[in-house]
Amino acid sequence: MKINITINGALYEREAPENVTLLHFLRECVGLTGTKEGCGGGECGACTVLLDDRAVNACLVLAAEVDGKSVRTIEGEMRDGVPSALQAAFAKRHAVQCGFCTPGVVMSARALIERNPKPSVEEIKEGLEGNFCRCTGYVQIIEAVLEATGQPARVQELSHA
């Protein structure tokens, strides 16, 4: 079937099977591979994108359901080559290691701060609960979200004995 989806502000028209997920539509029909597949079962959050401003697991959404709607992915986070405040904070706070969960984490954080511009640590933990990260242990990610929202990151620096 023909599916029209606005992705990061641009309209994409693609012929795709009716059972293709939004995740595979993005990765395989459009070629935007920034959104990752970690489990394909809605459990790990690696494929998180914003669907009409709400964070969803793209592996659990059929592309056909999204026909005519608007989706934001990690590829839309940078504008005119300038990183967003969120991206800058993730870089500064070392909130990235292997990077495979990162696009999904950033999109969850994006959804969180758009509905809650000054989230507390507890609210950040809650907001990112659906995103597995096996590398970082989450702390530097939480600090990055605090930093991006202009809040003093409650950072416990590495101390020397």
Partner 1 sequence: MLETANSETLRQIGRSPVRHDVADKLTGAALYVSDMTLPGMLHAQVKQSPHARAKIRRIDVSRAERLPGVRAILTGHDLAYRLGLYVVDKDILAKDEVRHFGEAVAAVAADTRAIAHAAVELIEVEYEVLTPILNHMDALAPGAPLVHPDLASYDFVEAAFSPQPGTNIANLTKCRKGDVEEGFAEAEWIVEREYTNPSVQHVPMETHVAIAQWKSGDRVDIWTSAQSPFTVRDLFCHTFRLPLSNVRVVIPNVGGGFGGKAGIHLEPLVACLSRKAGGRPVKFQATREEEFSLLPCRSALTYRIKTGVLADGRIIAQKMEMFWDAGAYADYAVNVTRATGYSAGGPYEIPNAWVDAYTVYTNKPYGTAYRGFGHVEFFWGLERHMELVAQTIGMDPLEFRRKNLLKPGSLTLTGEMITEHNGDVRKCLDSVAQAIGYGALTPVEKAREARTGLKIGKGVATLHKAPAMPPFTATSVVVKMNSDGTVIANVGLTDIGQGSTTAFAQIAAERLKFPLSKVRVTIEKDTDRDPYDWQTVASKGLMLTGNALILACADLLDKAYETAAQALRADVCDLDHDGEKIFIVHRPERSVTFAQLSIGYTYPDGSAIGGPLIGVGRYTAQGLTNLDKGSGQGLPALDWTYGAHGIIVEVNPTTGAYHILKIASAYDVGKAINLESVRGQCIGGMMQGLGTALCEGYIYDQQGHLLNPSFTDNKIPTSKDLPDEIECIIVETAQLDGPYGARGVGEHPMISVGPALGNAILNATGAELTHMPIRGEDVWRAMNSKAPVETWITKTPVGSCRSLPVYR
Q: 3-class DSSP state for residue 149?
A: coil
68 vs 154 by CB, closer to partner 1: 154
Give the shortest CB-35-to-partner 1 separation in angstroms: 7
Q: Is the dihedral of CA 14, 30, 39, 127 positive or negative?
A: negative
Which residues form the interface with partner 1 (CB under 8 A)?
Answer: 27, 32-41, 43-44, 46, 73-75, 77-78, 83, 87, 90-94, 96-103, 106, 124-126, 128-142, 156-161
6 vs 121 by CB, closer to partner 1: 121
Give the shortest CB-81-to-partner 1 separation in angstroms: 10
Give the shortest CB-86-to-partner 1 separation in angstroms: 9
Residue pair 6/12 in contact (Cβ under 8 Å)? The answer is yes
Closest CA to 67 of 50, 49, 51: 51
In the sheet that holds 48-51, the strands lie side by side as 10-15, 2-7, 70-72, 48-51, 54-57
Q: Give the Cα separation of 16 and 45 in Å (integer).
A: 24
Give the shortest CB-140-to-partner 1 separation in angstroms: 6
